[in-house]
Amino acid sequence: MAGTGPTSASDHHHDELVTSITNRLKQISETSFNYRLLPVPDKLRKTHKEAFLPKEVSIGPFYHHGKQWKAMEDHKWRYLQRFLEQTQKQLKECVEVIKKLADRARKCYLEKIDLNSDEFITMILVDGAFTIELFLSNRSPDRQTKNDVIFDKQKKWMISNVRRDMSLMENQLPFFVLDDLFNFAYGSQLGELPSLLELAYDFFGSGVNLKAERPRILDSDVKHLLDALRLWHLPAMQDAQGAGWKEAEAIPRALHLRAAGVKFRMSESNCLFDITFSEGVLYIPCLKLIPTTESFLRNVTALEHAYYKHDSYFLDYVAFLGNLINTRADAKLLIKKRIIDIENWLGHDERLAKTLAKDDEALANLFNSFGKESRFWTRNGSFCSVRQNLKAYYRSHWHWLKVRMKRNSVSKKKL
């Protein structure tokens, strides 16, 4: 009878095929495409290479072999030693935890990683322990040692540089690796300690005006730390993205808008993207420039290019400001209206900061470079609406302004 005989070779092959497909599906489910850690696109890197390179510390495989970060590499090992002492975990246990995560973590990087299995596990453990101890030391200064160069009060620029480096697109570990290591090390103290995301929020929020609500801070569905930083800046109530794509056309620069009757006001909103135009008044939240602002904006917009083109808040934002600030005069206007705060820009080099603040050329160049990429397709209905309303107002009022100017000119000639 059929089905009662011994398993045939074809049946065996069938089972192997099913197993192979099942394993492939499992790999895809464990690491979706959206979880890939991508390199910065070449066209962005070519024009602003320095904005994407670490200054002090490398995290992850992209810059792991760089000799210029060797000094901090030794310091990271000191953090690992402190991590083991504070948690009272055995090194063997920590290695086992990372070993279980290693395959999944490696698949998160799109490019081939030039590290063997042991080297990759070591890198993940050292960089992961460093990140966790860095956040805890920032939260509790009593954990800081006297010889810790990162928190040296005589070198305040160091912590700023490290904070910058930890938010670079190519300087990341998958967040699930950090979170699993943190939970393994401090799981018994989670009632006393903040979550890892809360610690990260405190660390990055020290230099900027972050005002995210607690539920969003605790959203663990983030790819890495830069992804979390982007999430924390988004509006509490995000606009539903439109069904179709629209071309975001350039708007007139700030001085031309003012000449057409547009008034500029600083919005009281804490969200950068809460830009509105009503009854001839353009309300824009204050952007506080600090030494790391340019690097952050370039990296977070590169992230949106890679992952969030359908939800591009930062891309739309920098393009909008890039349209407004085309010359030094435009920059001066927005500074005067307190829409751009340059008090702490370029921070620790006071001479350079005063020079650049005086002529505003650097500020104009910064946002003018963003404005060059202002023609792109977006689904962000809020920014599109503001752009359209501004252009309609400008065309209408500029037309009547020219008519009045012409009439005044004729009247003067008659006199």
Q: Report pLDDT digits (tens) over 298-345.
A: 999 999 988 888 888 999 899 899 999 989 999 999 999 999 988 776
Q: What is the mean pLDDT of residues 41-49?
A: 86
Residue 214's pLDDT is 74
Q: Do 220 and 105 sit in the same domain of this protein?
A: yes
Residue 241's pLDDT is 56
Instruction: Please write down the HEC assignment for all residues of 379-400.
Output: CCHHHHHHHHHHHHHHHHHHHH
Q: Do 254 and 180 sit in the same domain of this protein?
A: no
Residue 143 predicted with pLDDT over 70: yes
Among residues of the chain, what percentage have pLDDT more than 90? 50
Residue 67's pLDDT is 85
Domain membership of residue 44 (yes or no) is: yes
Residue 32's pLDDT is 46
Residue 238's pLDDT is 62
Q: Do 181 and 61 sit in the same domain of this protein?
A: yes
Banded model confidence at residue 371, pLDDT cuts 50, 70, 90: low
Banded model confidence at residue 355, pLDDT cuts 50, 70, 90: very low
- Last residue within a domain, chosen from 180, 212, 233: 233
Q: What is the mean pLDDT of residues 153-177?
A: 93
Domain membership of residue 369 (yes or no) is: yes
> How many angstroms separate the CA atoms of 383 and 323, rounded?
13
Domain membership of residue 124 (yes or no) is: yes
Q: Do 260 and 391 sit in the same domain of this protein?
A: yes
First to last CA, the chain: 116
Q: Do 223 and 314 sit in the same domain of this protein?
A: no
Q: What is the mean pLDDT of residues 260-288?
A: 94
Reference 350, options 153, 156, 150, 149; nearest CA is 156
Buried b (16+ CB within 10 A) or exposed e, 68-94: ebeebbebbeebbebbbeebebeeeeb
Residue 401's pLDDT is 66
Banded model confidence at residue 290, pLDDT cuts 50, 70, 90: confident
Residue 410's pLDDT is 43
Domain membership of residue 8 (yes or no) is: no
Residues 52, 40: contact at Cβ < 8 Å? yes
- Last residue within a domain, chosen from 184, 208, 233: 233
Q: Do 146 and 255 sit in the same domain of this protein?
A: no
Between residues 131 and 367, which one has the greater pLDDT? 131
Q: Do 136 and 170 sit in the same domain of this protein?
A: yes
Residue 16 predicted with pLDDT over 50: yes
Q: Is 349 left (phi over 0), alpha (psi -120 to 50) or beta?
A: beta
Domain membership of residue 158 (yes or no) is: yes
Domain membership of residue 169 (yes or no) is: yes
Residue 348 predicted with pLDDT over 60: no
Q: Do 150 and 280 sit in the same domain of this protein?
A: no
Q: Do 221 and 296 sit in the same domain of this protein?
A: no
Residue 304's pLDDT is 92
Domain membership of residue 88 (yes or no) is: yes
Q: Do 304 and 364 sit in the same domain of this protein?
A: yes
Please report the DSSP string for 183-237 in residue order: HHHHGGGTTTSPPHHHHHHHHHHTSS-----HHHHT----SSHHHHHHHHHS-SS
Q: Do 399 and 274 sit in the same domain of this protein?
A: yes
Residue 415's pLDDT is 46
Q: What is the mean pLDDT of residues 28-41?
A: 65
Residue 166's pLDDT is 96
Number of domains in the chain: 2
What range does the domain containing 179 cover?
Answer: 36-233
Residue 75's pLDDT is 93
- Last residue within a domain, chosen from 207, 233, 259: 233
Among residues of the chain, what percentage have pLDDT more than 70? 80
Domain membership of residue 25 (yes or no) is: no
Banded model confidence at residue 346, pLDDT cuts 50, 70, 90: low
What is the tens place of the pLDDT at every residue in 207-235? 566 677 777 788 778 999 999 999 999 98
Residue 4 predicted with pLDDT over 70: no
Q: Do 218 and 300 sit in the same domain of this protein?
A: no
